[in-house]
Structure formats: C-alpha cells, structure tokens
Amino acid sequence: MASVLFIYPPLSFEERGALSAYAPPLGILYLASVLQGAGHRVQVVDAEAERLSLRELGERIRREKPDVVGLTCLTLTLESCKRIVKEVRRRSGAYVVVGGPHISVSPPEYLKEIGADAYVVGEAEEEIVRIVEERPSGIIRAREPQDMDSLPLPARELVEHVEYGQFYGMKMTGKITGILTSRGCRYGCTYCNRPKKLGFRSRSPRQIVEELKLLDREGFDSIWIADDNFTNDPRRVIKLAELIRREGLKFHFFGQARVDTPSRALYRAMREMGVLALSYGVESVVPEVVRWYAKTPHPERWPHYVKRSMDLCREYGIIFLGSLIFGAPMETKEDMVRSIEFLEKGGADFINGNILLYMVGSAIWNWAVREGRLRPDQFVATAPELGLTPYSKEELQELCDRCADFSKREGWKSSFRKILQRRELGLIWMGLRRYVGDYLKIRRVRREIYGYGYGKRYTAGR
C-alpha cells in the first residue's frame, strides 16, 4: 500500500483570488477514489481553498512523508506548481507526478521544466493505479474513460474539512459540493483550450440521481455542476430534471451553460430541478467577433440566442451571469460597448468582463505563435500585450470595470427579485442572511468581487 498526497495548487501563494474556495477539485477526488479502491492511502490538500502558505504546505509534506505526491496543474497555476515541486524535493523523497488541464495542452518539450518525475496527459482514472504502483518517469498518455457510469464517485470526504461556496472569503451558498454530470464539450471556441478530442461523454441520469441522493443524505443543499457546459444536450437535462423531481430531491444548482440552446422545455426543466444561477460565455454580440471565436456556425443568430436566454432566465427565475471578452483583433470599442449594453438592457443580472487571453492549447494561441506574435514557451498573454488589439490594457480594463459597476448596481437587486419570484422561503431567508451577514465584508471587497475577470487576474502580476 502506498501513501499518496494530492495537492491542488493555488493561483498564487501571496494573494488570494475571488474563487479561492468556491468548489472542490473533483479531478483529484476522482483519482483518489480509484486509488482507495485499489487499497492505497490517499490524502488531499486543497492549498488554494485552505489558504496554505508554501511553508505550511512544506511542513505538511514533511509530516505526512508520502510515497507519492500528485499535483493538478492549470496554466495559471504553473508557477505555483513549480514552487511546490521544489518544496517536495526539499522536504521529502516522494515520487512526484503532475497532471491536469495545463499538462494536457502544453507542448511536451516544456514539461520537464516543472521538475516532476512524470507528467500525465489526459484524464487519469485508468492509469493512476499503475502510476502509483510502478512509478514510471516521463510523459504518460492516459486514455479518457468512455463509460462514465463505471467510475467510482469522487472521494469528497477527503476535503470535508474545507468550507466551499466562498467568493472572496464570503460564504455565498448553503452546504455545497461539486458534481460532474458529463465531461468534454462538443464545441471548439477558438480562445478555449479544452482539447476537442475529449468528446462529450455523459453519465446516465439514473446514476447522477443516485449520487444526488447520497449528497442529500450527507446534508448538501447546493451543488456546483462542474461540467464544461451543462446544457450541451438539452434532452439529457430534461430527463435528469424529471428524475430529480420524481425522487423529491431539493437542491440549488449552479453551473455553466451556452446561450444557443434556449428552449422553453429546457428552462422549465432546469427551474423544476432547482437551477438557481447559470454562467454563460456570451463573449460578444457582434457577429464578426463571434465568428472569429467560432462560438457557433450561425454567428448572425447569436444576439437572438443571447436575448432569448436572458428572457427565459427572467421567466423562470434563474440568475443570468454573462461573461464578455474584450480584445479580438477586429473588435472596435463601439462593438464592445454594444455587447455590454445588450446585456445591461436585455436582462443580465451580472456581467463579467474579461480581457482576451491567448492561452496555450487554444486555436488563437496556435495562430499567434504561427504569426510570430508569441514564443511557444509563452503560455499566456493578453491581447494588448501582443499588440493584437488597437486598445491598451487600461482601455480594456475600463470596460471590464463598467461591467463590474453594472453588476454592483443591479446584480443583487435583480437577483433578489428572481429569488422572490421563485417563492421559496428557504432561499429568500438564505439570501437575506448571507447578504446582511456579509454586508460589511461585501463593502470592503466590492470592487474586486465584481472585477474578477481573467485578464485582470492575469495582469494583476502573474
């Protein structure tokens, strides 16, 4: 039996972000569960949510003396990952393996710089036991599990000491955990670096409901749906909603959706199953920009989809959080303002403005490298840094701030109206309690709360 310590690294050890303790790291909880099933001893440290300093993390590694340390690496946590690997080397003789979204998209020749023993490309459930038992070195390509129902449930008990559902250190929900109802995505947005080859794989509604029943017994009342895109297949959602209703399960769900599935049947089903808030990648409402992002084969219909989704959210009392991206090469300031005004006037509750990032693995990053705008070892850069928009970071940031101001002015009011419309007393009470309870904190971090967009986070020194 090996002892394995999984670590979820923070964006930064020095500074904590908006989403620090928002949702548990399901990827490593799935791997932990597979390893437990094979008789290994597993622990998980969510260094982001537990707000550990590098020194505290080092102490923990020294105390636990794990045989194997496993890290999840995102592109924006790459630097933290490297620092953790050094710390592991300093404090123990553990074998170190790194996986996660960055490892899956990074050019392989740069992986060695991380300093680990092995790197896993892809979803690792079918490889992790062999890795822990045989400790191979180098790059390992894992085969994506296809039968989602055959996976064990994530080992959530390993992070039960962490209170998730926080936004800037404020608890925004009831007892929350994450769930995956599907993996992968059918689309290929050009700024996104989810590998398209992953394909869309979904769990059966019956099995998801069995997991929800367990979570209900464990006292969870809020669920973050961590799917890339929950509404990918509306028929699946409608079926799931029907089962949830039949079982009498009562949760509040949060998740990510696309605007181009705006059917009434889908929204009615989501409302019935308890979906409370959805975050949408709107990005822009200007067809040329939407085309450049390859959001849809029908860019001219995109504004209609956006409007219809906002209308349906209003009708069914679902909070609409619309994300916009600023800085596509052909995008003018008028275009950007048009997108903001479209959401402001059309019924969005919150708007999250982001400066366009060129991130390794995305089609626009590949293009910028080919054009000689980026070095292949430059894994992330903002559009203004690359001179790929006529506007400066400050100009784009002003637009992000405008979104933040709208959210600050309107978001709480309109969300509360939706909560009232749902006529759920428990929810109204929770909303009031959270808001009143955290009022002073909210005042203190107001600006950051609404301005947590990607570009800003990246430009804030990382």
Q: Which stretch binds ligand SF4 (CB under 6 A): 30-38, 171-179, 180-188, 420-428?
A: 180-188
Question: Is residue 404 involved in binding ligand B12 (CB under 6 A)?
Answer: no
Total residues at the site for ligand B12 (CB under 6 A)? 42
Question: Is residue 123 involved in binding ligand B12 (CB under 6 A)?
Answer: yes
Q: Which residue, 22 or 302, has its beta carbon nearer to ligand B12?
A: 22
Rounded to a whole number of angstroms, the minimum distance from the CB of residue 22 to ligand B12 is 4
Residues 283-312 binding ligand B12 (CB under 6 A) are none
Burial of 345 (0-12, 13-18, 19+ CB in 10 A): exposed
| Pairing of β 68-72 and β 95-99 | parallel
Question: Is residue 229 involved in binding ligand SF4 (CB under 6 A)?
Answer: yes
Closest CA to 341 of 307, 302, 309: 307
Query: What is the C-alpha to C-alpha distance for residues 186 and 183, in angstroms, rounded to an integer?
Result: 10
Question: Is residue 77 involved in binding ligand B12 (CB under 6 A)?
Answer: yes
Q: Which stretch binds ligand B12 (CB under 6 A): 54-62, 186-194, 240-248, 331-339?
A: 186-194
Rounded to a whole number of angstroms, the minimum distance from the CB of residue 189 to ligand SF4 is 3
Question: Is residue 456 involved in binding ligand B12 (CB under 6 A)?
Answer: no
Q: Which of 46, 48, 227, 228 binds ligand SF4 (CB under 6 A)?
A: 228
Residue 77's binding partner, choosing from ligand SF4, ligand B12, none, with beta-carbon cut-off 5 to 8 A by kind?
Answer: ligand B12
Q: Which stretch binds ligand B12 (CB under 6 A): 87-95, 124-132, 290-298, 335-343?
A: 124-132
Question: Is residue 183 involved in binding ligand SF4 (CB under 6 A)?
Answer: no
Burial of 390 (0-12, 13-18, 19+ CB in 10 A): middle
Q: Which of 36, 43, 59, 74 binds ligand B12 (CB under 6 A)?
A: 74
Q: Which of 118, 155, 185, 286 binds ligand SF4 (CB under 6 A)?
A: 185
Rounded to a whole number of angstroms, the minimum distance from the CB of residue 108 to ligand B12 is 15
Q: Which of 28, 32, 244, 381 binds ligand B12 (CB under 6 A)?
A: 28
